[in-house]
Each structure stands twice: as structure tokens, then as C-alpha cells.
Chains A and B, each alone.
Chain A
Amino acid sequence: MTTPTAPDLKCSGVCKNFGPVQAVADISFEIPSGTFFSILGPSGCGKTTLMRMIAGFEEPSAGDIFIKGRSVLNVPPNRRNVKMVFQHLALFPMMNVFENIAYGLRCIGTDRDEIARKVQDVLNRVALPDVGEREIHQLSGGQKQRIAIARCMVLDPDVLLLDEPLGALDLKLREAMKIELKLLQNQFDTTFVYITHDQSEALVMSDRVAVMNDGRFEQIGTPQELYHRPQTAFVAGFVGDSNRWSGKVTGTRGAEVTLETEGGTVVRSRPGDGTKVATGDAVELFVRPEFIELVHRTPRQKRTGLSGKVDNLLFNGANSRALVRLATGDLVEVDVTLTGGTDDVKPGEEVSLSWSTKNAVCFPARAAS
């Protein structure tokens, strides 16, 4: 039976093959109650397939899925208490807003007064109390979004699945909806499983994020963990911006690794969590632009950092970047503050770059990449 501590959603060893293509390969995870859980991965990595298996539209080739501690493998989609917000929302155009939301309640045989009350209640909660009589095409993109969520939430699901629901919206609205979704999740206090290929969506909204690649989960953790303590080269490269170089280990001392990039720059770094590198290994090095300190170089000043020359400035307000060409030819992206004052860096200027060893992470290079 259901135990009070059972996670809302649990997958163990779930696989899915489409003929020779393995879309989802051996995925296991648990989501505790009330979590905003994101699955982040590039296009075609199997996110939708995983979600469709949870919703019951695809049968896993292997493994088991538990909702509230109960296996749902033999439960048809309409009997699973997992609701889904589709990528293009799939609101029913032939029904008005009220009917769209009432559809699910009608299916479970709720009586009329109860339906009217519940629909109004959920409309209030998504802050659209007066749209019940509107047709779907009379709503704005963001309103449709909220109705699609309301249509699921009125059924009080154990888990709400969202498949890139912001994909169809324009940039401004997407930013606004990010915050709104997070607030809605707080308010409904339901487990949300959110699929996206946009790392900023995943980082901003989620309590926990799973990074998916090629049908597998690379790492599951809080956004901070993924960002600061990536466990694989893929995570380090995919989550957030990073400078990325290939190189070879020239020496190790304790937890510190000295390596030489292909361009010939010698850098000290630390191996990523749970990985081991030895002298002579091919590695990939990741350094985030915001961890690099950029100093104007005065002649004759002796510095420990790498010297280089500013190639270009990419001005973008608070997110401005400088592109620095090192003496060895490697190009480095560095976050800079451009205040408009006289001590801003300028293209052509000689600078020196430095970062602390703990912010330079290296991983053994994979044969494939």
C-alpha cells in the first residue's frame, strides 16, 4: 500500500527502444512530494519519450514506474493521476474555457454544482477569474498557458508533467511565465516535472534538475550543485556558459592537476567530482567566464596570471563579455563590468587573466566528443 513517505514519482531502470534507436536508456530517479523537478537536455535526448512513458502513452521496454509508490505499468493513461501540459497546450478549440476545465471533472462524474465551484476556484487561483465564458482563441498566449495548467490542476493530480510549455511563447513572455510557473507550483504545492532544453528555465524554477543526454541522466542535483559541482563534462558544458579547452595532463599534485591545452597554455585545475585523471590523459577543461579575474597589465608588473590581449568587447549591459586572446592563441571569454568610465577594458588592451584552481574543472575527454 501507499506509505506516507513514498515519493510522488519514481522510475527504476526505465528504457525505451524504438527499433534500433534507444531513446531512453536505463533511467532511475525519485521525486519527493512537492518538488519542482526539471529534466534538462538537448533536443532529441529522449525527454518527451520519458514523459510520455510516465503519462502512459508509451510502454517502457524495460523498468518500472511508480506513482505514489504504486506501479502504473498496467494502468491505462486515463486512469493515471498524472496530468500533462502539452508543448502546444492542446486546449480543445471547440469548447470554451469553462468546458475545457470541466472536461476532466465530467470524465470522473463530478456533479454540476461541484464542477462549477471547482472550475471557478481554479480560475481564481491562476488569476483569471473572468475568462470562463471565453473561447480559446480569445485568450493571449500566457493566458492559454495558465488555462492549460488550470485544466490539469483542477483534477488535483499527484504529478503534473510539463513538456516545454514555454517553447511557443516569445522571449519576454517566457521570462514572465518562468516566475509565474514557479509561483503556481508553490501555490498548488504539487510535484511538477518540467521538461526543457533551456538551461536558464531549469535553473531559475527548479528545486532539482536532472541533466539528460543521449537517453541517460548525467547528473541529478540542485541548480547550484549542477552549476558549481558538475560531475561530467557534458553537465559542465551544458549548464551555464563555460570556456572549454581540450588538453593533456602534464602532472598531478594532490587534488591539483596541471594540464596543457592544445594551444599550449599551461593551466592548473581540479578534477571534476568523482573523476580521476592521471598524467598523460586527454582531458577537457571548463572555466566559467564569471570566475575569471581580468586585470589591466601595466608594463613590468609581475603577475601570476595568463597574459593576453582584448580581442573584442561584447556589450550586453550587466552581462558584458570580453574576448581575450591569450599569448598562446587560445580565446577566453571573460565577464567584465563596463561602467562607461575610463577604466573599462578596451579592445587591444594588454590584460592578464587569473582564476582560482577550484573554479577550473577538468574531466577525462570522452572518445566520442
Chain B
Amino acid sequence: MVNQERRLLPGAGSVMKHRDARRLSLILLFMPLALWIVLLILLPHIGMGILSLREKIGPRQYEFGLANYIAFFQEPIYWHIMARTAVISLLVTVLALIVGFPVSYYIAKIAGPRTRGAMFMFCLIPLWVSDLIRAFGWILLLRETGVISGILQWTGLASAPVELLYNDAAVVVGLVYTVMLFMIVPLTSTLDGMDDAMIEAGYNLGGNGLTVLRRIIIPYAMPGIVSGSIIVFMLTAGSYLTPVLLGGKYSSWFTQTIYDQFITRYNWESGAAFGFLLLFFTSFVVWIGLKLSGQSLSSTVARS
């Protein structure tokens, strides 16, 4: 590329100097990003990778090996927790999609410009408070002495206090609420790029509402659906606070297992290995999702 340009502009010395300056400024511009990637993403992962491959053979005695990974496969409880995490995360992803799609469609296609801004705002507000506060908000609503229980008793629908916390449903609801925005933003931006005339053409050529949705809107929004789902799935599977606070001690979320290894058992080696296993496993699920939907990672990420 550069060689070709040189041939096109023979003997342009000042142009070359100018270009060097441009390249330098480009490098400087990308420096923070590069540092961020190397220091905060690459280095810790390499460190964890090495850590996860250390086998403990005695007090303060280590050997290089895969024992930490093998331990995971030998203990069915770990397996179950991992599968459970994946299934609930998938459920959360699907629910977020089902709830998020109409909202995105409304924001992108139906709402006027002012309503659109307001609705985006409403989706954003929950993100202004921390995870912790949000989870406590749910606890206030759902606990035995909480708002919903109170209302149920007051209206006479329940005779005694109802405990709505510490079950899978509470975890799912809390997670859907937390990750909703990450589904809505990519979906809205893909739908926003869709020409309204395309939907009208769908009707004009004889399609009913369902046909237009199935054959035109959803295929068009597919890149947004896939990238939103990837983000939501990854965030959910890797979340810690919401499942622990809403699901209680025994919510059996895989991140909790990792936390246990690191903090309770002080077994960093196995914790690191579990962390990598979670990463591999969720990546594998995403890969299957991409294959099934016929999308490629680069195309979906570029579109949204």
C-alpha cells in the first residue's frame, strides 16, 4: 500500500516527511489504547495463565502441569455449576432479547425524536448507580418484608409475608434488568439504520405483520441481535454481585466458585484455571451461537 503510494508520488521528499509526522501522531493517538490492552488485559491474563498451569505438589512446591484443569473435570459439582450458569445466562439473554427488541423497535422506528432521547435516558439511568445499589434496590422490593410482599398482603392476595428473594427467578429478573441496556443499544442502532421504506415495501408486496417481522426486520437486525446477545451473555455469565445478592449463598453461580477458590480456599492456581475455563466455555457458546445464526464476529461487531 505504502509502496504503491511512493511509486505514484516519485521524489516527494516533503510529502514523505509529512507522512512520517502523521504516522507518529497516529501512534501517539493509539498509545493509550495499546497500553490499556497490554497492561490491563494482556498482562493479567498471561499472569493468570501461568498461574493456572502451576500444580501444587506440596507446601510451597509447584510443578508445571494441567492438574488444576483436570480437577475441574473430575468434580461433577463444578461441572453442574458451570452448566447451570450457562443455561441461566442463555435464558437471561433470550429474555433480554424478547424484552429489548420491542423497546428498540419502538425507539428506532416509532418514537419521535424527543421521546427517543427520553427513552434512551430511562434505559441509561440504572447504569448511573452501582451494581451494589441496584441489587439492594431489588432486595428492598423482593424480600419478605419488602414492597411487593407488602402490597400482596395489603391487597389480600397473600395472607402471610412472601419471600421472593433467593431463588433463580429473582436472579434472572435482576440480571435481565442489569444487562438490558447492552441489548437495547446495539439493537436500536441496527434498526435505526434500516430504511422505513423497506418495511413498507414488505407490506406493499403482500406480507402481513408477521411475515414482515420474520422475513425482513429480524434478518435485517440480525447483526444487532447477535452482537447484543454476545455482550449480554458474556456480562451475565461473568457477573458476580447480582447472583450472589439476589440468589443468596447457594445460588451456585460459577463466578462464586471462582471467588471461593481465590478467597475462601486461597487456592489461586485452581481459581485461575476456573477463570480460564469460564472464558473458554462462554467463548465456545458464543462461537456456536455465531455459527447457528450464520454471522461472523467481525461483521456483527462492525455493524453495531
Contact = CB atoms under 8 A, between A and B. Distances in A.
B205 A152 contact: yes
A1 interface: no
A66 interface: no
Q: Which secondary structure characterizes the binding site on chain B?
A: helix
B195 A108 contact: no
A107 B202 CA distance: 10
A104 interface: yes
A104 B205 contact: yes
A82 B207 CA distance: 13
A83 B205 CA distance: 6
Contacts of B202: 92, 103
Classify chain A's interface size.
20 to 34
Contacts of A203: none
Nearest to B222: A94
Q: Tell me which of B204, B206, B216 has the highest count of chain A C-beta atoms within 10 A of its own C-beta.
A: B204
B204 A78 contact: yes
B198 A90 contact: yes
A297 interface: no
A106 B211 CA distance: 10
Contacts of A76: 203
A216 to B, nearest CB: 25
Contacts of B206: 78-79, 104, 107-108, 155
A57 B200 contact: yes
A65 interface: no
Given A90-B195, A94-B220, A83 B207 contact: no
A161 to B, nearest CB: 9
B204 A107 contact: no
B219 interface: yes
Contact of A90 (B201, B207, B219): B201
A86 interface: yes
A154 to B, nearest CB: 9
Contact of A92 (B204, B211, B216): B216
B205 A151 contact: yes
B195 A103 contact: no
Interface of B: 195, 197-198, 200-208, 211, 215-216, 219-220, 222
